Structure 1
């Protein structure tokens, strides 16, 4: 499961304990069945949208969990009636927090009367959502030598810039290459859903729009509302998704290409800048900074060219 860089923030950090107060036991859980949503930042977004017959405990993302967190997680897993997780491999970061491992613990209590209505423990897998339909040249790269390594200004790679750094320049984006990469991305998401038996969401991206994705891996609120409804139906939970009061995963917005807008027939103005924490960062400034950074980290270029070879080939065949 590709996740954000591992945080070394200790469990004892006061700010962390305040933010995850229920997880650390400082605040009693609500007088309702307890539910957990495990995964990366997307898991927290889903948690906020889920209906409330269950008390969904805010839990640190799996890439931030440490050995010191395990007694707190163990306590909650033992108490949980409902457990939702993105696919996480066994013994992730040396901890027993893989999806299969956690589901097995909850499943062992099935029939113990701990779930809503006494129906037994409930579990659901949700996919890691990535879609390149709107950002066909953007990618994430985790070099094996240092997976947390990220470029300056924005943590996303532009495959045109990466190819330039590799001495293999690509032609400009076209409607054809946009649609080709979008189809590839859609197939990959659908494959992940099927491989892990996840509640599906890929159909939402058959007709891409910018309200669905802010970047390749940061979905907008409509995605969370719909996925929350589907997960609730899968689990047999009553209630409607929560009406979200603020835009989620809203810190970074990628540029909106005129070619992409044409390819998907969108009524949206094009932009030539990133938006980061409300500030505009020109795309050309990002390009220059990333080229300089690639010169300092050639291993990232090699990893990116290898990892995204198929997308690079589609972009080259403009």
Structure 2
């Protein structure tokens, strides 16, 4: 069992500590990298960072032995949180390794996780969009399920995008996203342990660390699980039983309840619907009747 990480704002700091910066996936990577001989400092996800937190991060960077980062654009939310901006604050002895934001739709081809500029709210119940519900509100006729070929096409679209992003990243994840079971992805942006463990191993190798990832002894990113629909199980020949309900924080939720809450939210946010339909044009094309 490794020691607990040093909280972000606490001191003194452990010798040789590292930092992991990115979205909610970054904390999962930090958990796997943290060890007694490889201490880490817990950093909030970038979308939760304020000016004081950013200043604290820049205080830590020159003292860090490594930075593992997901790509973040320059001046994110008006703060110097861009990956290149963080890297510039490192000492010349520190190592930098980048890894991707992992999104894969192979097990949830009906699902999208997206934000629209100017709309900070997220839909109620679960913060994921079902393209079938969205399309219905937008007046677009779509199928209730996809053929096996269409499932493969939606999966390929997400892999193509991930591979494109990986061209400028140190460590790849796309080849780990084989739909061998429902445990590969909990939602479109929550990979399971079967992805995280080898991905963390690749990060360690890129850091020049001969150690192993720290097994957390529990499922990672497991607070929310999307339905695993029967036609998806059949398309990939998965060993899993289909799962009709959502699960959020241990509570089972009927998909009809989610759909009804989201329809109401979409009707109250027509600008989101218009923008989301444009963003999801390719995916919705796979679903059109």
CA distance in 2, matches of 1:20, 1:98: 24
- In 2 relative to 1, CA 201–78 (structure 1 residues): closer, same or farther, beyond 3 Å? same
Deviation at 1:198, TM superposition (A): 3.3
Deviation at 1:83, TM superposition (A): 0.6
Deviation at 1:215, TM superposition (A): 0.4
Aligned to 1:103: 87
The C-alpha deviation readout for 1:20-58, integer Å capped at 9, x for no partner, is 863212x4222x311100001100000001153321111
Aligned to 1:197: 169
The answer on 1:234 being equivalent to 2:206 is yes
SS in 2 for 1:312: helix
Give the number of equivalent residue pairs.
284
Alpha carbons 1:212, 1:219 under 8 Å: kept = yes
CA distance in 2, matches of 1:193, 1:292: 37
Q: Describe how 1:273-312 pairs up with structure 2 within 5 A.
A: 273-312=245-284
- In 2 relative to 1, CA 153–51 (structure 1 residues): closer, same or farther, beyond 3 Å? closer
The answer on 1:54 being equivalent to 2:6 is no
The answer on 1:39 being equivalent to 2:22 is yes
* TM-score (normalised: structure 1): 0.85
CA distance in 2, matches of 1:20, 1:302: 43
Alpha carbons 1:36, 1:57 under 8 Å: kept = yes
Q: Describe how 1:6-45 pairs up with structure 2 within 5 A.
A: 22-25=7-10, 27-30=11-14, 32-45=15-28
After superposing on structure 2, the runs of 4+ consecutive aligned residues of structure 1 that deviate more than 3 Å are 19-22
The C-alpha deviation readout for 1:262-300, integer Å capped at 9, x for no partner, is 111101111211011111111111111111221111111
2:98 pairs with one of 125, 129, 133 = 125
The C-alpha deviation readout for 1:156-193, integer Å capped at 9, x for no partner, is 00001111000012012222221110111111111111
CA distance in 1, matches of 2:108, 2:181: 11
CA distance in 2, matches of 1:315, 1:136: 10
Question: Structure 1: 5+ residue runs without aligned partners?
Answer: 1-18, 111-119
CA distance in 2, matches of 1:28, 1:204: 38
CA distance in 2, matches of 1:87, 1:313: 29
What is the RMSD computed on CA atoms of the aligned residues?
1.6
Question: Structure 2: 5+ residue runs without aligned partners?
Answer: none
Aligned to 2:74: 90
SS in 2 for 1:206: coil
SS in 1 for 2:89: helix
* TM-score (normalised: structure 2): 0.93
Deviation at 1:145, TM superposition (A): 2.0
The answer on 1:138 being equivalent to 2:123 is no
